[in-house]
Amino acid sequence: MSVNTSSHTERRIVFLIIFLAVMVPLIFPIGWGSEVSPIARMSYDLIDETPAGKYGLISFDYEASTITELQPMAVAQIEHAWSKGQKIIATALWPQGPQMAEASFAEAKRNPAYADKEYGVDYVNLGYKVGGIVTLQAMGSSIRDVYPKDSSGKNWDDLPMLKGIRTLKDLAWVSSLSSGVPGLKEWVMIAHDVHNVPVTGGTTAVSAPGFLPYVNDQKQLHGLLGGLKAASEYEMLIDKKGPATTKMDAQSVAHIVILLLITLGNITAFRRKRAKANLTGGQNA
Amino acid sequence: MKRNIPLILAFVSGLIVIFSEFIPHRPFSSIVDSLQEWFMIISGFAMLLGVMSLLRMNAAKVSTRSPDWQYHLIGIISFGLMVLMGALWGMEEQAGILGQGASISAWLGKKPFDYTYTHVFVPLSATLFSLLAFFIASAAYRAFIIRTLESNLLMIAAVIVILGRTGFGTMLTGWLPESYRFWHLPNLADYIMQYPNTAAQRAIMISAALGVIGSGLRIILGIERSYLGGDK
């Protein structure tokens, strides 16, 4: 009973410490810098080196739960593509994707530099389709057949920027912001491996290790943004102090606190083990 | 017969899809196009099935007054409210049964569905996911204990990766000269992620791919029949 009570108290103390570790840096930012990793730069370079007037597709394959990590990536990529004069098509393999796309475009348009970007001319939101990888296979034959209308019900023909688009091969790049299946992996398998369209993307930090094998010599993935840190690196590359940069301090402090807790946990375990050994030694003697 | 027809259909469909990968021409390409369309339509019905299952499971728990039945009731009510708001006033630019709901939208600033989605659903979802941080911290404190050589190695790798992923880690080794760039904590963390981690991930992926091929063949050849609703 006493062990349980002690364990519960310990848990509550840990929760309180983590709460403070996250809250305090959000209120009083520290401003720690960050180094841009090569794979985040690869992702940036793909959009940066695409000529103006070309089409990029961002697939919003996530939902509200992972908005903190993935939304800053979406906004940064949209602003970057617009700054280079590219046009953006938004699609979604997850039901809440169209809302995520809508929110990202609205956020990017709050920047006065992009306030004049026009729906149907500079960007479209084609919405959500069920079917995962099969939907992508069908888009390889005809995107229009899969999305005859956009998310608000407008016909494909009424959206001027889509006139030059037929299949996935007409896209200069694809970026899947993905928090699970279907998502980035499916885009690599179809858009890159079948149609040879450069694919990049972003995932939550916890999923990123699983996607690193795709960042290889064949460039199945043209760089990868893994978690909030990569989002802040992307913001740094486009010279923007956005939400990811602001939240990185909180994440950094929380990580350090977790490391300290691990150290403390090990010291406690070591002391318990030694006390137990002493007790056993005393009884044997 | 009741079992043989689905088995034959699975066998023929599977073979057509495999052939179409090697012979991407008619008739295989056009048949595969149709199969893809069918799949998308059937997937739509799967969502409907999911909704029905959700309602049935929750309703059963409420009617039998199982533990925490109140939460299931709130779930059903929330679901019903969202459906109702979407049906009556629509969402975003789409109109509902009562049209665009201009007066209620003017009062809330958004349509009721969009308002509830943005100001209730999104923060709740993000909060639930964020709670993981608390449980990870608590679990790390109690479970990440060095006992063996392997756990020691794991701990060292974890410390480097965790620190390398923070601004603090960057600051800690930022003073090292350019010739020692590899020893910067973010670079060490990248090295661990790109080599030892990727090697292990590749092994897992190859094993999983072999497993998928195996189970695909079992379904096509009629050995695996659980998708028919039993193994008899």
- CB atoms closer than 10 angstroms to residue A138: 24
Do residue B92 and residue A152 have CB atoms under 8 angstroms apart? yes
Do residue B33 and residue A269 have CB atoms under 8 angstroms apart? no
Tokens of A260: 């300290």
H-run or E-run covering B13: helix B4-22
Quick: pLDDT tens for B9-29.
999 999 998 988 898 888 888
Q: Residue A285 has what pLDDT?
A: 59
Quick: pLDDT tens for A201-236.
999 998 999 999 999 999 999 999 999 999 999 999
Do residue B144 and residue A262 have CB atoms under 8 angstroms apart? yes
- CB atoms closer than 10 angstroms to residue B37: 15
The answer, yes or no, to whether residue A129 has pLDDT greater than 60, is yes
Pairwise pLDDT comparison (A33 vs A67), residue with the higher score:
A67
Q: Residue B24 has what pLDDT?
A: 82
Residue A2: pLDDT band with limits 50, 70, 90: low
Chain A residue whose CA is closest to B121: A64
Q: Residue B138 has what pLDDT?
A: 87
Per-residue three-class SS string for B14-52: HHHHHHHHHCCCCCHHHHHHHHHHHHHHHHHHHHHHHHH
B181 to chain A, minimum CA–CA distance in Å? 11
Q: Residue A177 has what pLDDT?
A: 97
What is the block-wise mean pLDDT of chain B (232 residues), using blocks of 10 residues?
86 90 86 87 88 95 94 95 93 85 88 92 91 87 85 90 86 86 89 92 94 93 82 50
Give the whole-angstrom CA distance, residue B159 versus residue B165. 10
Chain A residue whose CA is closest to B181: A35
A152 to chain B, minimum CA–CA distance in Å? 6
Q: Is B36 on the interface with A (CB under 8 A)?
A: yes
The percentage of residues in chain A with a pLDDT greater than 70, rounded to a whole number, is: 97
Give the whole-angstrom CA distance, residue A173 versus residue A55. 7
User: The pTM is what?
Assistant: 0.88
Residue ranges of B 41-60 with Cβ closer than 8 A to chain A = 43-44, 46-47
Do residue A258 and residue B92 have CB atoms under 8 angstroms apart? no
What mean pLDDT, rounded, does chain A reach? 92
Q: Residue A120 has what pLDDT?
A: 94
Residue A195: pLDDT band with limits 50, 70, 90: very high
Q: Residue A244 has what pLDDT?
A: 92
Most confident of A5-9, A53-57, A240-244: A53-57
Give the whole-angstrom CA distance, residue A165 versus residue A171. 8
Q: Is A16 on the interface with B (CB under 8 A)?
A: no
The answer, yes or no, to whether residue A269 has pLDDT greater than 90, is no
Count of CB pairs separated by less than 8 Å, A with B: 155
Q: Is B152 on the interface with A (CB under 8 A)?
A: no
How many residues are given for chain B?
Answer: 232
The answer, yes or no, to whether residue A165 has pLDDT greater than 90, is yes
Mean pLDDT value across residues A66-92: 96
**Domains of chain A: residue spans and CATH:** 38-247 (3.40.50)
Chain B residue whose CA is closest to A256: B163
Quick: pLDDT tens for B157-181.
989 998 888 888 888 888 888 888 8
Q: Residue A1 has what pLDDT?
A: 46
**Mutant choice from A37, A141, A220, A253 vs B, greatest count of B C-beta within 10 A:** A37
Domain positions in chain B? 1-66, 78-132, 144-232
Give the whole-angstrom CA distance, residue B99 versus residue B112. 13
Q: Residue B66 has what pLDDT?
A: 93
Mean pLDDT value across residues A54-80: 96
H-run or E-run covering B140: helix B122-143
